[in-house]
Amino acid sequence: MSIKRLAGILLSGLAALAFLACDADKLSKLKPGITSADEVRQLMGEPSLEWVEADGTRVWEYPRTPEGIVNYMLVIGPDNLLREVRQVLTEENFAKVRPGMSRDEVRYLLGKPAHEVYFSLKKEKVWDWKTKVEPGMTWYFNVHFNNDGVVTRTSTSFAAPGA
């Protein structure tokens, strides 16, 4: 293995650890039922996306992609208090992705993808999320959409760092 490649792997790993440490510190300060929406914004910043449900509940997205292997959804109740913090990149959620789902449904379930690539010959868009980093290998969960934005299938893939 070349020095350049090893350095890239180490730097990527250190960046991910720093990100996780920062998140752990912030998340430890969030108390469901106590922390207000304003306090969440002060601590976590602006969400990348907000969904508003019929009862006034808001779900705020805090993605950690493309570098991270987590995405957070914070649920703010109609009373303006934090209700729940969910890390959504889980095997359980990946298993919920089914053919026929829309892009919005997948985004609500998994958060912002790490990458979006369009394959013109196959006429499909693929979203991916980094799921695991091992020495010499990064794993991804992929969702394939047709031109109508409907899930056709899922897959997994891996790439060598720097590839």
Q: Domain of 32: which CATH number?
A: 3.30.1450
Q: How far is CA 15 from CA 45, 70, 104, in A?
A: 20, 14, 30
Q: Based on the fold, state whether residues 9 and 76 are members of the same structural domain.
A: yes
Indicate if 15 and 81 belong to the same structural domain.
yes
Domain boundary among 66, 87, 108: 87
The residue range of the domain holding 69 is 3-87
Number of domains in the chain: 2
> Residue 56: what pLDDT?
97
Q: Percent of the chain scored above 90 by pLDDT?
A: 77
User: Sign (positive/negative) of CA torsion 113, 119, 120, 125?
Assistant: negative
Task: Point out the domain boundary residue: 67, 87, 107.
Answer: 87
pLDDT at 1 over 60: no
**pLDDT given for residue 160 in this prediction:** 83
Name the 3-class secondary structure at 41.
helix
